[in-house]
Chains A and B, each alone.
Chain A
Amino acid sequence: MEETYSAWQTVSFSANSSMIGVFNGASSTHLIKVYRIFCLNVQTAAITVEVTGLEMWTTTAQTGGSSITPVAHDSDNEALDANVSIAYGATVTRDQRLRRWPWYVDEFAAGGVAASAWEVIPALNIVWDLGYGVRYVDPILLRPNEGIDIWHLGTTTVGSADLMIQFSQVAA
């Protein structure tokens, strides 16, 4: 079993920006395996609906932004390598696009049937889980100087969403 961590953050939409990113720095002595990423609608206050887009990218650099402290799944886990950065709103250098999906920025209503209501169901909003539970498929492996990012490609500046990345850390 690999030492696992979850990094969660509520992120306001901002035009063409990094919603959440993990970057394994050049001096890291560990590998990061990204198992699952969730994107959930948490907007309860009324806003005007907009349709925007999210993308998942590999990255070759990540600087700045607001740091996110992940939660270790076991308090006996070793500390996360100090060269591993998890942030939102960071400046990233995107390399390869892995996937793209639309996102409906709207509050979810108690009696809602719209996409914004479907966006609250965790089981339906795991936007990345390749390698999870299937031993023939590798999770995304981040070697030193590699990262991944969830990128907001639209111009929407209203509303927010919760992003969560679940990953493990193993010795290189």
Chain B
Amino acid sequence: MASPTYQALCYQVVPVADKSMISIWNASTKVVRVYRIFYWNTRYAAITGVAVMLQLNLITGRAGAGTGATVLKHDSDDPALDGSVYVETGATVTSGSTIQRFGISCEELTAAEATLDCFHNVMPFGTLWDCGYEDAEVQPLTFRQDEGMQIKCETTTQGYGDYMIEFTQADA
């Protein structure tokens, strides 16, 4: 069986230029492995949507706290997430190397359309990262003490979306 697994959800996150939309920072002595990252468009109220770019970055520091994510254990018998593992939105972090970028739309969802904003409401299409998931030979993104990652917004815009990180916590 896998190590204790958690999912952390930040919902209705408003994009702002250079904002850390969701981040995970491991200040503990545990090892955190990120398996999947999702973005879903959850905006219903009408807005004028624009195209938005996101980045998946490593982060090399966390200078200030953001708003904590809702963290769910996949098994209630699992230990609580280490108090020094921070999953947040809007944290003040130092960006490191970029791993990949993603385009999204911040337009509202409508019932009778099949536009880009609707694509991102289909669960599998919202998968931003799943490397190491379902392949035992490929490493997931692995974060040791004082390491982490974020999804960062490149451009100022409007609307909001939900972000989720699925990860494990294990002894070093």
Contacts and interface: CB of A to CB of B under 8 A. Distances in A.
Contacts of A71: 58, 97-99
B44 interface: no
B112 to A, nearest CB: 12
Nearest to B124: A123
Given A1-B137, A76-B144, A42 B116 contact: no
Contacts of A162: 100-101
Interface in B77-127: 97-107, 113-117, 119-120, 124-125, 127
Interface in B119-141: 119-120, 124-125, 127-129, 131-132, 134-141
B144 A110 contact: no
A82 B149 CA distance: 26
Nearest to B146: A75
What secondary structure prevails in chain B residues at the interface with A? mixed
A103 B155 CA distance: 25
Contacts of B98: 8, 71
Contact of B142 (A74, A113, A168): A74
A42 B54 CA distance: 10
A40 B102 CA distance: 7
B51 interface: yes
A4 B140 CA distance: 8
A3 B101 contact: no
Contacts, number: 125
A112 B139 contact: no
B14 interface: no
A73 B35 CA distance: 11
Contacts of A10: 101
Interface string A1-34: 1111010101000000000000000000000010
Contact of A110 (B53, B106, B132, B147): B106
B103 A108 contact: yes
A6 B53 CA distance: 19
Given A109-B51, A120-B103, A73 B142 contact: yes
Nearest to A109: B51
B71 interface: no
B50 interface: yes
Contacts of A123: 124-125, 127
A-B pairs with the 3 shortest C-beta distances?
A110-B49, A120-B103, A74-B142
Interface of A: 1-4, 6, 8, 10, 33, 35-36, 38, 40-42, 44, 69, 71, 73-77, 107-113, 117-118, 120-124, 132-133, 162, 164, 166, 168
Given A4-B139, A108-B103, A112-B116, 13 more contacts: A4-B138, A35-B135, A42-B101, A73-B131, A73-B132, A73-B141, A110-B115, A111-B115, A112-B105, A113-B114, A120-B102, A123-B125, A124-B125
